Structure 1
């Protein structure tokens, strides 16, 4: 029988905790060792897990492994998606790319840059809204700084429409369809960008997990 508490990467077996035959009792420190190793495989040898990010990682890991007790402590709803916010270069995109590997048996999500969604709309029109308003799982990267959408002379806030579609789907499927996103913007800036109606839907779609605004730019 497979042991879901172990993952093999690059020929090395990593233990994430203890499997009792029914469920995995995860060990956060062991998860961090695995994420550091997997991060180096995905992003190169300079990738590292920073001590300052441990609290953010604890929240995110607890969410992905569905640790309800820890999620309740941080007021995270396991059924909603994650909106990971923070300054440019703090590692949001890398973490969301990395964390989808943590529970291989779980349905994963595609990482889609928001600017790609807008570019697609500009070429294909409303078909794009249907495509991203589908029951696939997505993480929309860099939300709020994508260019405006325009198709046959008509302007549209494309990501706003996609989020409204995904909110409707979230309700229709009894909260089974997950939407995640990353953003550099704060709540006020998001509201300014997408309007009050989208912002209120976002509160119901997402758990907000935020880096400190002074988090360092790890790309420097």
Structure 2
């Protein structure tokens, strides 16, 4: 779908201008993006949703990545060709932010957000075809990576998400297909969960963006 003015988004009869169109390039305004995300967040998650000032630094990185601001991403140490691994403690807002930032770029291919536990449960029912299913060229964000149960099909155990990450790594190398994820685990815990082989490929697959360990639980 072609968007003649992708920097102007309409929600509920109101227009939100996220920046200015200069030729074929959009000069985004971070403050205007924040204002739009605050509105969109309430529409998606309810009236209690808000953008917290303490999260502006994380959002600045995510938004510059999402709009492919190459210059700023380079300064931030972010590679726009890779996916995002957003880490942080339970309830800090990882899932909400990954759901939200898709909406600031309606002219880009969106990613589907899939709970990792749902994939593991699906494996228990239908087996290895679920791994093949996520080896396609679509963009995904695997939510709550690392806390999903081990898969078990006809008596055989399988580290389902570990296998999927390996196949997504091949897709990234060969076709630049992006994969995103959220996780509550740190690097050591991810390696314990998936092994060194998968962890090393995750370094190639993802930009790591992390909330502070002390980030509050916004669900309370």
TM superposition score category, shorter chain reference: over 0.9
Alignment gaps of 5+ in structure 1: none
Q: Which residue of 2 aligns with 1:56?
A: 58
Q: Which residue of 1 aligns with 2:10?
A: 8
Q: Distance in 2 between matches of 1:95 and 1:134?
A: 24
Q: Which residue of 2 aligns with 1:212?
A: 212
Q: Which residue of 2 aligns with 1:170?
A: 172
Q: Which residue of 2 aligns with 1:127?
A: 129
Q: Distance in 2 between matches of 1:170 and 1:18?
A: 32
How far residue 136 of structure 1 moved from its aligned partner, in angstroms, is 1.0
After TM superposition, the score normalised by the length of structure 2 is: 0.97
Q: Distance in 1 between matches of 2:201 and 2:127?
A: 23
How far residue 219 of structure 1 moved from its aligned partner, in angstroms, is 0.3
Q: Which residue of 1 aligns with 2:192?
A: 192
After TM superposition, the score normalised by the length of structure 1 is: 0.97
How far residue 22 of structure 1 moved from its aligned partner, in angstroms, is 1.3
How far residue 69 of structure 1 moved from its aligned partner, in angstroms, is 1.2
Q: Distance in 2 between matches of 1:35 and 1:86?
A: 20
Alignment of 1:98-109 (within 5 A): 98-109=100-111
Classify the secondary structure of the residue corresponding to 1:82.
strand
Classify the secondary structure of the residue corresponding to 2:104.
coil
Structure 1 stretches of at least 4 aligned residues deviating more than 4 Å after TM superposition: none
Classify the secondary structure of the residue corresponding to 1:100.
helix
Alignment gaps of 5+ in structure 2: none
Q: Distance in 2 between matches of 1:218 and 1:83?
A: 20
Q: Distance in 1 between matches of 2:90 and 2:35?
A: 25
Classify the secondary structure of the residue corresponding to 2:10.
strand
